[in-house]
Structure 1
Amino acid sequence: MADPAEGRPFKKVLIVGAGPSGLLLGVLLSQHGIPVQIVEASHELDQQPRAAHYGPPAIPELARAGVMDLLEKNGGMRLNSMYWRRFEDHTQIAGFDGSVLKDAGSPELTVVSDVRTACLPMQDLDALLLDMFVNKYNGQVSWRHRVTNVSQEDTSAWADIEILEGDLDLAKATVASTTRLEADYVVGCDGANSIVRRSLFGNEYPGKTWDAQIIATNTYYDFAGKFGFNDANFIIHPEHFFMAAKITADGLYRVTYGETPGLTREQYLERQPWKFETILPGHPKPDEYKIINFSPYKMHQRCAPKFRVGRVLLAADAAHLCNPWGGLGITGGFVDVGGLVDCLIGIWDGRADESILDLYSEKRIEKWKTVIDPISSENFRRVSDADPSTRLERDEFMQLLKKSEGDAESTKNLLMGFMDVRYDFTQHYTK
């Protein structure tokens, strides 16, 4: 069998982390014939309720991976209406009908015309991407391979790895052996606590942690049928703010809400029935809804100093973090992946040299600073506003939404502005 890397500028990419960004990166590189290996410390995909909504800027990357063709077959759907609501009676304040993005493709988005937000629980998306990577592209995932350090020299990079056995709990697992895996490039897609990033910068991860506690749940409750809720709903309140957004066609919602910081998981679980009865429409008792997943977490706004140091690269949460209000974390991560894929393909095909990777770092950091960080920060300040009754008169974005109501073209132009988080690296190809 012919070596796919014969005559190419590099031979292999090692991806650390079998989460959504690592798997998407693996699929898109494999599509182009680039040899890829993924290493993952866990024995399985993450099953916690994390991201479920992938915004318009991420849709082109999911489309070229083939995900959008399979979305509905795998229980996914498109999100259309999104509104901000009052806490007292849950009435609408302002919002938009995202169905205007159904045919909003522009010349640069040649792979897709429908850029409406996609909805699919992350564990289901991961399973879909893993199946593609392993079964369609013969990709290799090495499970229970815990990276302890990443290093490099002029001609290669490598990851030092502990191969785990015994208890499936990573904290209790034992080390069966150690090994070193080499590649031309190592890409850290290993999340907020990235070992790859720590290998480069130690504990340096500039930014802040919000003084707020968030609880994410996947919950069945009839928001739409009984209370006329939209596909996605943000309820504004300084203490009882929450989001209820549909994530599957059968009526599963991501319900994310604010809580008192500093309590234990057990205390949050104990408070959950009271919290739902207080904040949700209809003030339901526990027998009126069904919680599938429950996960407390902290919110961060952070960005690594660089996304490229020699042959080691960072993407998604390993590179930057933002709060989840608006979905810019996972969306920005997928846009990172698409940009990095274009840069590596350019090098692989001889249409770009390695300097394009410096441009990847520069431009993706710029997009975090000018788009992701300010917009996501304002999204959280909006939903947790101290004076909800006057938020509309103080909020330029919500005023633009009100002004655009009933005007499809104006709404489309407003929403397409979020595409600014993207950057076309292929314009820098030299051949």
Structure 2
Amino acid sequence: MADPAAGRPFKKVLIVGAGPSGLLLAVLLSKHGIPVHILEASHELDQQPRAAHYGPPAIPELTRAGVMDLLEKNGGMRLNSMYWRRFDDHTQIAGFDGSVLKDAGNVATTLTEDMRTACLPMQDLDALLLDMFVTKYNGQVSWRHRVTNVGGQNEGDATAWAEVEVLTGDLDMTKATVSETKRYEADYIVGCDGANSIVRRSLFGDNYPGKTWDAQIIATNTYYDFAGKFGFNDANFIIHPEHFFMAAKITNDGLYRVTYGETPGLTREEYVERQAMKFELMLPGHPKPDEYKTINFSPYKMHQRCAEKFRVGRVMLAADAAHLCNPWGGLGITGGFVDVGGLVDCLIGIWDGRADESILDLYSEKRIEKWQTVIDPISSENFRRVSDSNPDTILERDEWMQLCKKIEGDVPATKEVLMGAMGVRYDFTQHYTK
């Protein structure tokens, strides 16, 4: 069998983490013929309710991976409307009709003209990408391989390496037994191993500049008839200083991501016990537990953090391993997928002999710049908006909501405003030299 790396500047990429960003990176590199190996500490894909909405800037990457062709067949959908609402009566304050992006016209990429936000629970997206990687591209995933350290960040290192503990026994990683240790080598290692990234810690220790919000968030996947009974839009942000929440449709059968604020400092058991009280207080119709069905429940803290570099020698970072933001607006996963697309273009440029390794420094520089100028400020403002202390006057004070009111019913203006989100992207192919 012919060696796909024969005559190429490098032979292999090692990805740490089989989450959405790691799997998307693996699919896009494999599609171009670049050999990839994924190391994952768990025995399975993450099943917790995390990301579910992937904004317009992420659509080009999902399209070229082939995901968008399979979205609806796998229970996914497109998001068409987003509104901010009052807490007391849940009436609309301001918002926009995202269906105008179904035909976005001449956009930054020629891959697609339908730029509406895509909706699919992360565990379903992961399963779709994993199947593509393993079945279509014969990709290699080593499960229960817990990376403990990586190297290759020093100038002159000919390869990168990862030290790995192979786990056995109990499926709970904290109780599992280490059966053996291994060392894997590759030309490049990419850390896609999340907020607690071992790859990032191998580079920078515990230094992850930024802050943790003084707030507790609970994410659930819940069946409740928001649209049919109460006229809710596809995505709804209910503004309140304490009882703020989001209800956003994520599948066509009526499953919603309901994310809400809670009192910090309680145990998981206490949060579970309080859910019925919170839902009855917050949700339209003040439902009792037998009126809805919650199938996933996950408390988490919110962060705004960014690593000092996304590339050190032969080691790169992407997505949550590289930067974090609060989830209000979906810029975390969307920004992570845009990272992946940019890094893919950089590695393809090197692989094809159209760029040298300095393009990886540019990847680090530009993606950090986009976090600082787009992701961090916009996501921070999104959270301040939904948790505003005086919802009754927010329209008078909030420029974004005033803009939404101004462009209401104006299709060209709405398209222009919504496509402004594409500013989080950066075209690295413009730096190809050949």
Task: Compute the RMSD of aligned alpha carbons.
Answer: 0.6
- Give 1:19-418 correspondences, 5 Å limit: 19-152=19-152, 154-418=157-421
Q: Residue type matched to 2:67 in 1?
A: V
In structure 1, how many angstroms separate the alpha carbons of the residues matched to 2:357 and 2:115?
A: 31
1:135-173 superposed Cα distances (whole Å, 9 cap, x missing partner)? 000000000000000011521000000000000000000
Whether the 8 Å CA contact 2:209–2:306 is kept in 1: the answer is yes
Residue 105 of structure 1 deviates from its aligned partner by: 4.3
Q: Look up the SS of the partner of 1:123 in the other structure.
A: helix
**Aligned equivalent of 1:427:** 430
1:202-255 superposed Cα distances (whole Å, 9 cap, x missing partner)? 000000000000000000000000000000000000000000000000000000
TM-score normalised by structure 2 residue count? 0.99
Gap runs ≥5 in structure 1: none
Q: Residue type matched to 1:98 in 2?
A: G
Q: Look up the SS of the partner of 1:68 in the other structure.
A: coil
Residue 21 of structure 1 deviates from its aligned partner by: 0.1
Q: Residue type matched to 1:272 in 2?
A: Q
Q: Look up the SS of the partner of 1:69 in the other structure.
A: coil
Percent of aligned pairs sharing the same letter: 86
In structure 2, how many angstroms separate the alpha carbons of the residues matched to 1:240 and 1:146?
A: 39
Residue 107 of structure 1 deviates from its aligned partner by: 4.8
In structure 2, how many angstroms separate the alpha carbons of the residues matched to 1:425 and 1:93?
A: 39
In structure 1, how many angstroms separate the alpha carbons of the residues matched to 2:7 and 2:241?
A: 60
In structure 1, how many angstroms separate the alpha carbons of the residues matched to 2:352 and 2:110?
A: 20
Q: Residue type matched to 1:161 in 2?
A: V
In structure 1, how many angstroms separate the alpha carbons of the residues matched to 2:425 and 2:101?
A: 16
1:150-197 superposed Cα distances (whole Å, 9 cap, x missing partner)? 011521000000000000000000100000000000000000000000
In structure 1, how many angstroms separate the alpha carbons of the residues matched to 2:199 and 2:275?
A: 36
Whether the 8 Å CA contact 1:105–1:115 is kept in 2: the answer is no
Residue 103 of structure 1 deviates from its aligned partner by: 1.2
In structure 2, how many angstroms separate the alpha carbons of the residues matched to 1:33 and 1:39?
A: 19
In structure 2, how many angstroms separate the alpha carbons of the residues matched to 1:28 and 1:108?
A: 19
1:63-105 superposed Cα distances (whole Å, 9 cap, x missing partner)? 0000000000000000000000000100000000001111114
Residue 106 of structure 1 deviates from its aligned partner by: 2.9
Residue 36 of structure 1 deviates from its aligned partner by: 0.2
In structure 1, how many angstroms separate the alpha carbons of the residues matched to 2:167 and 2:290?
A: 41
Whether the 8 Å CA contact 2:107–2:113 is kept in 1: the answer is no
Q: Look up the SS of the partner of 1:215 in the other structure.
A: strand
Number of residue-to-residue matches in the alignment: 431
Q: Look up the SS of the partner of 2:327 in the other structure.
A: coil
Gap change, CA 1:92 and 1:107, over 3 Å in 2 = closer
Gap change, CA 1:397 and 1:107, over 3 Å in 2 = closer
In structure 2, how many angstroms separate the alpha carbons of the residues matched to 1:108 and 1:397?
A: 23
Gap change, CA 1:409 and 1:133, over 3 Å in 2 = same
Residue 108 of structure 1 deviates from its aligned partner by: 2.8
TM-score normalised by structure 1 residue count? 1.00
Give structure 1 regions of 4+ aligned residues with deviation exceeding 3 angstroms: none
Gap runs ≥5 in structure 2: none
Q: Residue type matched to 1:33 in 2?
A: G
Q: Residue type matched to 1:144 in 2?
A: R
Whether the 8 Å CA contact 2:325–2:376 is kept in 1: the answer is yes
Q: Residue type matched to 1:121 in 2?
A: P
Q: Residue type matched to 2:199 in 1?
A: V
Q: Look up the SS of the partner of 1:224 in the other structure.
A: helix
1:20-53 superposed Cα distances (whole Å, 9 cap, x missing partner)? 0000000000000000000000000000000000
In structure 2, how many angstroms separate the alpha carbons of the residues matched to 1:408 and 1:359?
A: 36
In structure 2, how many angstroms separate the alpha carbons of the residues matched to 1:242 and 1:372?
A: 21
Residue 412 of structure 1 deviates from its aligned partner by: 0.6
Residue 287 of structure 1 deviates from its aligned partner by: 0.2
In structure 1, how many angstroms separate the alpha carbons of the residues matched to 2:141 and 2:246?
A: 35
Residue 317 of structure 1 deviates from its aligned partner by: 0.1
In structure 2, how many angstroms separate the alpha carbons of the residues matched to 1:108 and 1:79?
A: 20
Q: Residue type matched to 1:365 in 2?
A: I
In structure 2, how many angstroms separate the alpha carbons of the residues matched to 1:100 and 1:428?
A: 32
In structure 1, how many angstroms separate the alpha carbons of the residues matched to 2:302 and 2:164?
A: 29
Gap change, CA 1:107 and 1:263, over 3 Å in 2 = closer
Whether the 8 Å CA contact 2:158–2:187 is kept in 1: the answer is yes
Q: Residue type matched to 2:113 in 1?
A: S
In structure 1, how many angstroms separate the alpha carbons of the residues matched to 2:266 and 2:203?
A: 33
1:387-409 superposed Cα distances (whole Å, 9 cap, x missing partner)? 11111111111100000001011
Residue 114 of structure 1 deviates from its aligned partner by: 0.4
